[in-house]
Structure 1
Amino acid sequence: MAEQADQPIVTAAILVIGDEILSGRTKDKNIGYIAEYLTAIGIDVREVRIVSDVEDDIVAAVNALRERYTHVFTTGGIGPTHDDITADSVAKALGVPIDIDPRAKALLLERIPADQLNEARLRMARIPEGAALIANSVSKAPGFSIKNVHVMAGVPTIMQAMLDALAPTLATGTKMLSRSIPAGLKEGDVAAPLGQLQKDFPDVSMGSYPGFQEGVGFTTTLVLRSRDEARLDQATAAVEAMLTAARAGTRVDP
């Protein structure tokens, strides 16, 4: 889709960290939530990566993504165990030292008695130098933001709380608007005319999403997306007219 130069475009990547995701033992519940959340506030998610708990892999991914996008959101790997290495890896990627942060330690002490704040739990207070903390209303152990990298927990309820705390601080752009249009036809029936309409409206993204309904059969939903509401309305009208013609052309009379 062509992007208009006078409209700010803010982009993002999601980096999911964890062997448990790649092995299939844990089913990711964060990608869709983050993508929908960011879209609603005017941030376009352009890429998602999943990497294992390997420092070199995390460092390489963070550096590649932070150079390419406005924001990078990571999930996972900031707990108390030996394989929670996200904070150290992000510090290495950005070339800054990391140590126990007094602010983070104080937050942990709000929930954990001092005599139980052992070495393992203190790992959750290790924050790269220069980072801002991301509040965690669920378990207190904070995430952090450093430059354009935002490091959050992998547990969905905690990640969601962190994202709520982080969102007001984020640079955002013009929101993407969308229209969903049930086609009432199979995807192959609309592919050609939809392709022509995309050429007529290069500034409106047009997607075709097939599905299947019991008792109905194969169905298609067309989704149009644009930041310009007037152009989106024009494209929607053109697509609806195309669908009316296509339905008439594929109707089988008794």
Structure 2
Amino acid sequence: MAETDPAAAPRIVTAAILVIGDEILSGRTKDKNIGYIAEYCTNIGIDIREVRVVPDIEAEIVAAVNALRARYDHVFSTGGIGPTHDDITADSMAAAFGVAIDHDPRAVAILTSHYGEANLNEARLRMARIPAGADLILNAVSKAPGFTLGNVHVMAGVPAIMQAMLDEVAATIPTGTKMLSRTVPANMGEGRIAAQLGAIQKDFPDVAIGSYPKMLDGGFSTDIVLRSRDADRLDEAARAVEAMIASIWAAQG
């Protein structure tokens, strides 16, 4: 048997999203960051494997950070790095990593340049408190930086600011082989294709195959979504699904 070339194997990079904030859990604020980060990461070759939402409680944040950073290559955190008393993410990250936290001279310089020294009050200076050993994530929108500590990327919760920070982070981290996808419309309910689709999945264990029902023109329809990092296998599996659907319609007459 020929040996597999390690260089030819797809590189898989995994990540989790950690959303921090009582306002998300209460429903007061509708999260707009999870979907954006997930789609962004899919497009650059990072697999989002888990999403957690935790309250503004240090022990909950610390537990989530330590669990996720040990399990995945990256953790993308949003929320809780503002100037008010309930923005405790930076302190919680320092606690999770067991490092000190203080006003970072780099962050202070950024905020001083933006606000002017006379306007850099105590609340604004809170946004310059960065855990020891962290790298800053620049913020082109409102200037107050986020930070990367280990494999955890701590970003703002405001969508426009988070998106600018994510661009900064993405330029600095390794990514994996991009996951490719194909959608095949079935134009029939899942019940009519379930058995045959299960058989195709067994024939293509290296291709993720999912079925997603929907209503179309007053009736049931199903989109079959196939995902793989191997373009040839993806094409082969998609053809098998298309042939299966055609055979069902042909049998119906």
- Report what 2:247 is aligned to: 245
- Report what 1:33 is aligned to: 36
- Report what 1:149 is aligned to: 152
Q: CA deviation at 1:36?
A: 0.4
TM-score (normalised: structure 1): 0.95
* 1:236 corresponds to which of 226, 235, 238: 238
Secondary structure at the residue paired with 1:192? helix
Q: CA RMSD in A?
A: 1.3
Q: CA deviation at 1:247?
A: 2.2
- Segments of 4+ moved more than 4 angstroms: none
The CA distance in 1 between the partners of 2:251 and 2:23, in whole Å, is: 50
1:166 corresponds to 2:177: no
Deviations 1:145-190 (A, max 9, x none): 0110000000000000000111011121111000011111111111
1:84 corresponds to 2:87: yes
The CA distance in 2 between the partners of 1:37 and 1:25, in whole Å, is: 25
- Report what 2:46 is aligned to: 43
Q: CA deviation at 1:246?
A: 1.8
The CA distance in 2 between the partners of 1:222 and 1:13, in whole Å, is: 25
* 1:17 corresponds to which of 15, 20, 28: 20
**Any gaps of 5 or more consecutive residues in structure 1?**
none
The CA distance in 2 between the partners of 1:76 and 1:27, in whole Å, is: 13
The CA distance in 1 between the partners of 2:172 and 2:46, in whole Å, is: 13
Pair 1:184–1:107, CA change in 2 (3 A): same
The CA distance in 1 between the partners of 2:248 and 2:73, in whole Å, is: 41
- Report what 2:206 is aligned to: 203
**Any gaps of 5 or more consecutive residues in structure 2?**
none
Secondary structure at the residue paired with 2:206? coil
TM-score (normalised: structure 2): 0.95
Percent of residue pairs identical? 69
Moved more, 102-111 or 86-95: 102-111
The CA distance in 1 between the partners of 2:218 and 2:248, in whole Å, is: 18
Tell me if structure 2 keeps the 8 A contact 1:110–1:140: no
Q: CA deviation at 1:216?
A: 3.8
Tell me if structure 2 keeps the 8 A contact 1:185–1:247: no
Secondary structure at the residue paired with 2:161? helix
The CA distance in 1 between the partners of 2:89 and 2:251, in whole Å, is: 56
